[in-house]
Amino acid sequence: MAVAEFLDTAQGRQLAYHKSEGTGPTVVFLGGLKSDMEGTKAVHLEAWAQERGQAFLRFDYSGHGESGGAFEEGCIGDWHEDTTAAVAELTEGPLIVVGSSMGGWQALLLAKMMPDRIAGMVTIAAAPDFTEDGYWASFTDAQKQALEEVGYVELPSDYMEPYIITKRMIEDGRARLVLRSPLELPFPVRFLQGTEDTAVSTATAVRLLEHATGPDMSLLLVKDADHRFSDGPCLGLIEQAVIDVMNAS
């Protein structure tokens, strides 16, 4: 297995990454909350890009995977800074951004910051605004009190150990919501969503589709697919969606 390289950011964080040279546009994979760049989708897409001779980048946000820092100290804004730094320092020219779960939110934040760099976007179970609409909206009074008094709450996960959700993550996420203001995506976009996803609802996917504006945007609902969206057929759909936006750009 290839050894990760590291990028030191202006914020003093160290990000682990794997970059493959090739023709543009560069495909950039943005992972989910507490996921890492060794996940099935990221590694599969890298191998697919390498076979095509396509430039590709995957990396770990701070507090994730091989990157420095502690997850509990991070927030949406920190990981947005990480994404921006990785893209600015490690890529050139047009990008095809592929965002999974929280990475979908990161992809949308990146699009707001540098729309001219993005030639196309694919999201997989995108989770924009989840700190507000998922966590905060479902917190009990006791959890909200714990957030104020202790500074964090623990939430169970279907996929790994409990999530530590901090007051800082909630407050920072509130400052970076994308579904409450205009969201222009002036490039081809394909949203992918499984109907059996227990982490992100199909209602969230439809809300994103209806809220965003752009010239070429579609949502594909995949019956019985779950949040991982990582079996053979789903990986094939991701490949096809990347080709679709690349050809349409």
Q: pLDDT tens, 57-74?
A: 999 999 999 999 999 999
Domain 5-129+177-248 bears CATH identifier 3.40.190.10: no
What are the tokens at 232? 């053979």
Query: 166-172, long-range: CB within 8 Å, 24+ apart, which pairs?
Result: 166/72, 166/75, 168/75, 169/74, 169/75, 169/76, 169/131, 170/131, 170/132, 170/135, 170/136, 172/75, 172/76, 172/77, 172/78, 172/131
> What residue spans define the domains of the chain?
5-129+177-248
Task: Label residue 23 by pLDDT band (50, 70, 90).
Answer: very high
3-state secondary structure of 82: helix
Instruction: Name the H helices within 53-179.
Output: 76-90, 102-113, 130, 137-138, 141-149, 167-174
Q: What is the mean pLDDT of residues 90-107?
A: 97
Planar angle of CA 210, 215, 216, nearest 5 degrees: 80
